[in-house]
Structure 1
């Protein structure tokens, strides 16, 4: 496993790219409402990235081996879609729960983040699942410090999700990120405390748990990208990009409208210094 530790220049560039990714979510928030299509949300995000930020949407035409090129600027996953939902003609309706996943490239560096949105009132289940998934992400983030292990992150997430009666998707994980979209290490959202790679200052990676209201099994659609829950239960996801510092961690994907962490969570934000 080849881990790229980031130097001071890399870290500053990542702060900028990650803040910009988060600001795309700030921008699109008021547009998420009943009657809008996911394709229109993607168009608005794409236009904002290119014209307002001068960033490049990393997902557009992204093509891992064995996959067709991804056709859109964002991933928008609605209700039982776990991840990689392709924006299109789907019209949002009251009660829909959706994840919008943004990755931008700025000056060669990738910033990656996602948030959950609920259209209108939402069901009790959707709101609870989104909240528990948010708590799972932050419980994972709170484990990040030099000397901790990747298994600590996974164990914290898995324990909380399963205690609430939910399941953790295992086929997809967080990842190292920098001048490459996906790099080592892989960040599993399940595991055992004290196992796995030891964290070092200078690592940057995403924590992005995908939590299902039902069982954890998945099914992939014929487009080869869209992944749904096999039992058609709701799924939720949140994502932050995190830096391992000398004394703990710094959440890089923060901006003016980023939801605050749950009570008891610790974080450092560079937002004030970067604006």
Structure 2
């Protein structure tokens, strides 16, 4: 469980999330939620092994045959992920704990015949990620009650009939100050700009350029540490989607399916540091961060958002 302190700083009036003391390293002490045996699981959960690490064998980029069973499977997984994200939004209330939210989302996912993809991925102990205020990504649900003025990103991924569906949104809790509202709004606009840059033959670097255009004249920055990724039967695979200005090679092709998930931070420092749990990533100076994510498919004529 993280502790927090009320502060006022240049970035607004909100609570900073910090790791508890004494520090506990790793998260093996957190008991994972149970999944019924009849639910199909991704390989990393089926074998109780860790997911492949960046230094190991990584799946290659794969184009999805349009109009076939793979596309149907992706659409079904993305559609369920959207429903879970919408349900998550209904659970965001002052006084609710992120553990309670995770428990209800876990049950909803199971009831719909799917597996919560984060569970046991490289040892992650919960079924979704809940990132509050200065937490940029990968927050582990705990017993902290949500406060009026918080912003919370809930990152949803499900594994359904052999395919992953992935989406997230940052929600406002109670009365959020104007700086927090602006941060969430501009994050959603950056995501939309990135999506609009997608089409067959477009360079992947156009996504980051479009997002930069949204924040260029404002006091926000885009994290270069956390990227979008190809998705399908694998949770993560190429292409890797960079959200900041970049000069990465490669162009989009029909059948590319990937996530766009910019992490926008208040101020000019987008760097993150990791809590002792090995997952929770806070902005370096504890400025607030927001993230929004959609899963997109490049078609013969443009782009389609599968989680919208």
Query: Into which bin does the TM-score normalised by the smaller protein fall?
Result: 0.7 to 0.9
Q: Deviations over 1:79-100 (max 9, x none)?
A: 0000000001111010100100
**Equivalent pair of 1:74/1:101 in contact (CA under 8 Å):** yes
Tell me how far 1:28 sits from its aligned partner: 2.4
Larger Rg: 2
Deviant stretches of 4+, over 3 Å? none
Which residue of the partner structure matches residue 59 of structure 1?
118
Task: Map 1:1-275 onto structure 2 (within 5 A).
Answer: 2-7=60-65, 8-51=68-111, 53-63=112-122, 69-192=123-246, 196-214=249-267, 215-254=269-308
SS in 2 for 1:163: coil
**Equivalent pair of 2:88/2:154 in contact (CA under 8 Å):** no
Give the distance between the partners of 1:20 and 1:100, measured in 2 at CA: 15
Tell me how far 1:192 sits from its aligned partner: 4.7
Give the distance between the partners of 1:9 and 1:163, measured in 2 at CA: 44
Tell me how far 1:225 sits from its aligned partner: 0.3
TM-score using structure 1 length: 0.88
Give the distance between the partners of 1:104 and 1:47, measured in 2 at CA: 12
SS in 1 for 2:216: helix
Which residue of the partner structure matches residue 262 of structure 1?
none
Q: Deviations over 1:120-143 (max 9, x none)?
A: 121101110000000000100001
Q: What runs of 5+ residues in structure 1 fail to find an aligned partner?
A: 64-68, 255-275
Q: Deviations over 1:171-216 (max 9, x none)?
A: 11000000000000100001257x5211100000000000000211
Give the distance between the partners of 1:223 and 1:60, measured in 2 at CA: 15
SS in 2 for 1:99: strand
Give the distance between the partners of 1:90 and 1:158, measured in 2 at CA: 34
SS in 1 for 2:121: coil
Tell me how far 1:161 sits from its aligned partner: 2.1
Q: Deviations over 1:136-183 (max 9, x none)?
A: 001000011001001100111123223222011111100000000000
Give the distance between the partners of 1:224 and 1:57, measured in 2 at CA: 20
Q: How many equivalent residue pairs?
A: 247
Give the distance between the partners of 2:147 and 2:255, measured in 1 at CA: 43
